[in-house]
Structure 1
Amino acid sequence: MSEAITTAQAIQGPVLAGVFLNLILLGISITQTYFFFNGSTKDKPWVKRFVVFIFFMDILNSIFGMVYMYDVLINHNGDVNAMSKSTWTFITDPISTAVIAGVVQMFFGWRVKVLTGSTIAAVVIWFFSTVQFLAGIGTGIAGVIVPEFLKFRQFTPITVIWLTGSAICDVLITLMLVQYLRKQKTGHTYSDYIVDRIIRLTVQTGMITSLVAIINVILYLATPKAYDLVFNYMLAKLYTNSLLSSLNARKTWTYSSGSRPSRDPPSRPGGSSSGRRPEEVINLAQLGNRHTRPQVFVAIESHQVVDEPHAFDGKVDPAQALDGVGSNKTGHQEEIDFNQSFASEVRAS
């Protein structure tokens, strides 16, 4: 009996805690998904299908986690042999986590490519995303071949590659987006304020997933007990919420007038006396000299995406583009230009 208690504390205790946290984060994912579909009438169909796929995988991840815990703690209560080995329901966790992380990272890699115009940056992100995806699948397969929890250290290399690859990919996405966004500041109060909010959300969502992955691999290497599984069961939900919070943040910008920086002037000469905030259009213009690309304009007030082929002909001057050349803007109607197919999605951070 004492052996069963020891095994439960060392292995199934952390798994149970991880499943609890997984279910808490699932509740947040459900709420985020509801908000997305409740306010995403302007999003393209493929974006909605993408979110449905992620949400479906997220639900499966939680269901299999609960099935595993019921099987071990109820059906095989006190069975040391059952508590010491993984089952196919347990193996679905690293596999589903790798799938969710992989597609979310590739989505953000696509954003980086469209926003910055750098194919090299996107390829680097996609490379690490693919590495962690394959290593995660490999970790699941290894868990089938060597089901004993205490022997999981036999496939340490592939597990380390999975988790560190995931963390590196998240850090790269965050750094690339933050570096690009910082260059888009124009000196105008309204646009800089929105860019700062995007940067903060990017850092928060990107660093949370990378930090949890790093803690996971450290605990995996540092102790033979299964403490790392607490964080492992959280990863899938963190990636899902990272994606959904990024998409849903677009809607919150519409209601940012109440949190406008205090240094903003209360009114403009000749402006409306109704007290309504003028519509702001944010336009993250491309830096550097690049050939013409179709553009997508994102109106923060309406969140409507409009394709404008060849909005700028020839080469773009960064300073002029950021100040709204080619648009009929006044005072604080500033634009920050997004490339085609960015589809109103800045990785708002």
Structure 2
Amino acid sequence: MLKEAQFSLLVILLLACGFLYQLTLKSSCFFFCLPPFRSQQGPEALLSHRHSIVFIETSERMEPPPMVSCAVESAAKTYPEQPVAFFMKGLNSSSHLPSTSTYPAFSLLSAIDNVFFIPLDMKRLFEDTPLFSWYTQINSSVEKNWLHVSSDASRLAIIWKYGGIYMDTDVISIRPIPEENFLAAQASQYSSNGVFGFRPRHPFLWGCMENFVEHYNSDTWGHQGPDLMTRMLKVWCKLRDFQELSDLKCLNMSFLHPQRFYPISYPEWRRYYEVWDRDPSFNDSYALHLWNYMNQEGRAVVRGSNTLVENLYRKHCPRTYRDLIQGPEGPVTGELGLGNK
């Protein structure tokens, strides 16, 4: 009788352990485990399978602001079958976050199946590239624009190594980009580096990394970024002005019309925060760059404002809009929603 009771207790204990194991998988171990390690995939394994979308955070910040959350969510929504990789400097392989309530945007994004957070280890990333000698000799503490410069370098190395599409964290995706090797025109004969895409090991990016080191000048903002892309593009291609809405072709890559990502130019960036009589369709665009660097006034997306940017959030990053965007009188009440896509 005693043995039967012991056996019954053992069965109950095993069932309880199995239940708790499944529960911890769903609730992230009762504390927040970082998404990239749920599958134990490093960047090589994750990004080598499919054409990926890449975002980068070069500060130590762990909680993405709403605009960053919208950029990542909109990419995941636009490219549901492709991994969206968010490289973050603040992560490391043993990082745990104490609670989902402390990091609501991080928690929101981690619940999206094709979003993966990856530690940004620059020294390892730059190995076997022209950037390695530069990085190991630079004193980042005295660099004037280090967050931007290190991001400029990291995006070149990541896309060169793994391929895919890089996007700034203030770019809202609205439809898939049909090109594989491309640069985005910010204006006629001037390239952005806020969005670009290439196959792995593309020689254009290797040339960009060499030029980055040879002509390094961190005092001038953009010298290692859009200015670099434009310098290299002029070496590779004979640039001319765009004709109507046609893209330009050069060798095995495309130079995409400003309407594809910059239908609202940087001098007019405030128009995103204005109410329009009728919101534009952006039918000729793949994504929208919101020029957050220009937003020194701290303009925010406000629930109920009916501004263009609010309507873009509502349509293209509905989770971020629902859970993170505040009304004019303060935070939106209610629990953080982590429902299905």
State the TM-score, normalized to the length of structure 1. Answer: 0.29
State the TM-score, normalized to the length of structure 2. Answer: 0.30
Q: Which has the higher contact order (CA 8 A, sep 6+)?
A: 1
Which has the larger helix fraction?
1
Which has the larger strand fraction?
2
